[in-house]
Structure 1
Amino acid sequence: MSRRQTTKRVTMMDVARAAGCSQATVSVVLNNVTDIKISPDLRARVLEAARTLGYGLASPIRRAGLEDFRGSCIGFIVDQLATTPEAVNAIEGARHASWENDVTILVAQTQGRAEHERKAVAHLLRAGAQGIVYMSIFTRRVSLDAVFENLPVPLVLLNCYTGDNRFPAVVPDEVTGGRMATAHLLRKGHRRIGTIVGESFMEAAQDRLAGYREALAQAGLAYDDRLVVEGNWTPTSGFEATCKLLSLREPPTAIFCQNDKMAMGCFNAIGEAGLRIPGDISIVGYDDDELSRHLRPQLTTLELPHRPMGAWAIEQLARKPRPESHAVHKVGCTLVARGSVGRIPADHQSEKPSP
């Protein structure tokens, strides 16, 4: 088996494909749901596929030392649950890190409202939660409600952090992610690289742009603000931003979209312009959204590390002794190379755009 195969994160979809069933069936089997009938043969196939692929007990996610939590529960408070996959992925990572110790994860959605957070904390503590993970969908600094200040159980922050570093906190390394996306295009010979950024007030957008600029600087290329167009994370904004980039006198040969939804709009704009991906222009997205595998060609993208972040949060709940101050822990993103990036011919790489 190649090194690339051994280091690739195994997903529930991989297990489903190997077992010849749906992802939902895999979830039912691995979560030991008893009120849904699964044939013994199918259950055995799923478990064997999970063992063979290294999913679950053999997962690369390290097992947390949760012996003290055995048979108890952990609370998971998140502002938004249904609108994006990030919270679900983080909860899945937390479940992986705790399932050997018979730990139940209780999830509460609060819409970011302090009164809902206070009620959620009260309910979780009454249910016997031995620790709480607090998650924000958007990476940001948070000001926690007073209810979190003197909890009788440990608290870990996921995808957010406080200004005083009082609590353990984990976020994606977005600067490195933006640099990786841009560097991938640079390695393919691209020198005129556009980028469609998210809303500029968001930390993720700022950091991914910082990574883009770092990669250009490391390659000895000047930053050109004409190649930077702001979107708002939606396919429509990706479409409109791509049209602006294509209208330049010298359009880019590649575009780094700061999320996969904007990349989808980018694909549509390029198609309407009569251009081909990656023959005429290469595209990199960000997030590894499910849609990235359904675009044609499939989208090269960066996978957000919410599963390992969820596992890390659980590990911190079990950590002893607990320090009084915590540096924000950053987890790297993974480049997922697919078919939307092509190489620029060597005889075009030395061409410099006019100022």
Structure 2
Amino acid sequence: MRKPERPRRPTMTDIAKLAGVSQSTVSLVINHMSGAKVSSATRNNVLRIARELGYPVDRPGHPAPPAARSLIVYLTDELSTSPHAMQTIDGARDAAWEHDCLLSVYATRNDPAYEQAIVARMLADPALLGVVYATIFTRAVTVPPPLAGVPTVLLNCHTRDRLYSSVVPSEVLGGFAATMHLLDAGHRRIGFINGEAWIEAAAERLKGYRQALSTRDIPFDPLLVREGDWQVSAGHAHAQALLALPDAPTALFCANDLMAIGALEAARERRLQVPGQLSVVGYDDQDIARYTQPPLTTVLLPNYEMGRWATENLIAQVNGGSPRRTCMKMDCPLVERDSVAARSLI
């Protein structure tokens, strides 16, 4: 007899979508941050939805003192280049706290000497439970040799020898989902504004785009693919070039939301209505995506969920409840808003 599936644990992302606020606002409310500029109505609404979903918002009355908690070190190469890092830290921190652990975060800025000093210091801490080793760009890494005997989970990165558990976004499926959404709306000429080809995420999103086209027997046209740099200006410039083609695309898939915003501006300048005359899909689901005109259909990058998974897998390893080498590719679901219309309506 098949065992019933275990229900998925609600996340801050679920609460944010139902409450119509950002994940950062949910985090401020859930963690009872003093001085946060959140209205009473918003606070009460977030707490109500969280309780209805079964998300833990009422902390135990007598938590263990910090000194009694185990320590998980979150070691990353960068924090300041995008909002994604803070979302993964939120997920890792929440999971750690729920398991009576504290999360300590260090950013190395890719300085080997600094990373070595941090590792030496944390290995001397008797409270150390393990390490979440993270990167801002998905890529292959070399784990510092001193961590060989320390429980370690890789977040948004992986090793080529697969000796460590890791969690990365399923970028191929994300690119596939975005392109299929446009194909299902009847579009056949779909432009793709990608990031730099050397970045793993860009290469995999392109692979997903090509796989989706092949499912509908649509030949890949390299003229419809442009390489940008993830910035608004690149999205604007490449959208202008694509829309100036003699056989211009009727839809654009942009590999991040910032470039999609640039594409929306290019459409406005060419007096093209979105989605009436041009459909646009982004990627990442940054907060700004819901406030563009029109609100942007995009693909969710599951940063918070990856942070939670990394910490929970690490704790399970320590407790003997998880295999040492688990490689998770986390789903990147489509978030439908108002920037895509059926081709038959154009």
Measured against the shorter chain, the TM-score band is 0.7 to 0.9
CA distance in 2, matches of 1:189, 1:7: 35
Question: Which runs of no fewer than 5 residues in structure 2 stay unpaired?
Answer: 1-7, 59-66
The answer on 1:195 being equivalent to 2:195 is: no
The counterpart of 1:11, out of the listed 13, 32, 40, is 13
Q: What is the identity percentage for the equivalent residue pairs of Structure 1 and Structure 2?
A: 43
The counterpart of 2:120, out of the listed 114, 119, 122, is 122
The counterpart of 2:110, out of the listed 109, 112, 117, is 112
Q: What is aligned with 2:75?
A: 77
- One-letter code aligned to 1:51: R
Over 3 Å counting, the alpha-carbon distance change for 1:269 and 1:173 in structure 2 is same
Q: How much does 1:341 deviate?
A: 0.4
The answer on 1:221 being equivalent to 2:218 is: yes
RMSD: 3.2
Q: What is aligned with 2:30?
A: 30
Q: What is aligned with 1:166?
A: 163
- One-letter code aligned to 1:96: D
Over 3 Å counting, the alpha-carbon distance change for 1:23 and 1:167 in structure 2 is closer
The answer on 1:301 being equivalent to 2:298 is: yes
- One-letter code aligned to 1:109: A
Q: What is aligned with 2:341?
A: 342
Q: What is aligned with 1:50?
A: 50
- One-letter code aligned to 1:304: L
CA distance in 1, matches of 2:269, 2:37: 48
Q: Is the CA contact 2:30–2:57 (under 8 Å) kept in the aligned structure 1?
A: no
The alignment partner of 2:343 has SS state of: coil
Q: What is aligned with 1:96?
A: 94
Question: What do residues 52-71 of structure 1 show as CA deviations (whole Å, max 9, x unaligned)?
Answer: 2444469xxxxxxxxxx982
Question: What do residues 193-232 of structure 1 show as CA deviations (whole Å, max 9, x unaligned)?
Answer: 1100110011101000000000000011110111111111
Over 3 Å counting, the alpha-carbon distance change for 1:275 and 1:46 in structure 2 is closer
CA distance in 2, matches of 1:129, 1:341: 49
- One-letter code aligned to 1:99: W
Question: What do residues 285-318 of structure 1 show as CA deviations (whole Å, max 9, x unaligned)?
Answer: 0000111112100000000011121111112212
Q: Is the CA contact 2:75–2:133 (under 8 Å) kept in the aligned structure 1?
A: yes
Over 3 Å counting, the alpha-carbon distance change for 1:48 and 1:274 in structure 2 is closer
Of residues 98-107 and 154-163 in structure 1, the stretch that sits farther from structure 2 once superposed is 98-107
Over 3 Å counting, the alpha-carbon distance change for 1:42 and 1:266 in structure 2 is closer
Q: How much does 1:237 deviate?
A: 0.6
Q: What is aligned with 2:135?
A: 136
Q: How much does 1:89 deviate?
A: 1.2
CA distance in 2, matches of 1:314, 1:15: 24
Q: How much does 1:148 deviate?
A: 2.5
Q: How much does 1:39 deviate?
A: 11
Q: How much does 1:95 deviate?
A: 2.4
Over 3 Å counting, the alpha-carbon distance change for 1:219 and 1:40 in structure 2 is closer
Q: What is aligned with 1:3?
A: none
Over 3 Å counting, the alpha-carbon distance change for 1:7 and 1:260 in structure 2 is farther
Taking structure 2 as the reference length, the TM-score comes to: 0.84
The alignment partner of 1:123 has SS state of: helix
The alignment partner of 1:11 has SS state of: helix
The counterpart of 1:312, out of the listed 309, 319, 326, is 309
Over 3 Å counting, the alpha-carbon distance change for 1:236 and 1:115 in structure 2 is same
- One-letter code aligned to 2:74: F
The answer on 1:269 being equivalent to 2:266 is: yes
Q: Is the CA contact 1:75–1:107 (under 8 Å) kept in the aligned structure 2?
A: yes
Q: How much does 1:35 deviate?
A: 9.0
Q: What is aligned with 1:333?
A: 332
Q: How much does 1:176 deviate?
A: 0.6
Q: What is aligned with 1:282?
A: 279
CA distance in 1, matches of 2:42, 2:220: 55
Q: How much does 1:85 deviate?
A: 1.5
Over 3 Å counting, the alpha-carbon distance change for 1:235 and 1:169 in structure 2 is same
Question: What do residues 62-121 of structure 1 show as CA deviations (whole Å, max 9, x unaligned)?
Answer: xxxxxxx98222110111112212111111111232322332111111112211212222
- One-letter code aligned to 1:101: H
Question: What do residues 33-66 of structure 1 show as CA deviations (whole Å, max 9, x unaligned)?
Answer: 57989999997775444212444469xxxxxxxx
CA distance in 2, matches of 1:100, 1:306: 18
Q: Is the CA contact 2:15–2:49 (under 8 Å) kept in the aligned structure 1?
A: no
Q: Is the CA contact 1:16–1:22 (under 8 Å) kept in the aligned structure 2?
A: no
Q: What is aligned with 1:239?
A: 236
Q: Is the CA contact 1:71–1:101 (under 8 Å) kept in the aligned structure 2?
A: no
Question: Which runs of no fewer than 5 residues in structure 1 stay unpaired?
Answer: 1-5, 59-68, 349-355
